[in-house]
């Protein structure tokens, strides 16, 4: 697996830049990944989604879908598209240090 230095930490990433090991993640890495995805500043709502995704993944062992983020995380779908344009599940998962969600192209 290739490695990449993000926020001063060298981590393993897949071919699309997703972290291989979610335990390598920290909030500084999230901020850098967000900038790479065109999100210059992570707001309180961004963090709500990111932390929900990480906690849900930790508890259930799978990356939450948009529907799960809406239903269990309490974030309306239209807000997800505003927060993470052009593919909210994929971008949010990447910034949260998780692998690419199933079904994302």
Active site residues: 104
The owner of tokens 């309306």 is 76
Please give the C-alpha separations between residue 60 and each of 23, 26, 48, 56, 68, in angstroms, as whole numbers.
Answer: 16, 20, 18, 6, 12
- Residue 6 and residue 33 in contact, taking contact as beta carbons nearer than 8 Å: yes
């Amino acid at each position: 697996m290739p490695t990449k230095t993000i926020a001063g930490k060298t981590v393993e990433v897949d071919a699309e830049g997703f972290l291989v090991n979610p335990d390598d993640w920290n909030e500084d890495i999230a901020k850098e990944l967000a900038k790479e995805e065109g999100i210059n500043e992570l707001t309180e709502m961004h963090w709500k989604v990111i932390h929900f995704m990480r906690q849900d993944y930790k508890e259930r062992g799978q990356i939450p879908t948009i529907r799960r983020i809406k239903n269990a995380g309490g974030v309306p779908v239209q807000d997800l598209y505003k927060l993470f344009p052009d593919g909210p599940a994929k971008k949010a998962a990447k910034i949260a240090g998780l692998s690419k969600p199933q079904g994302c192209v």
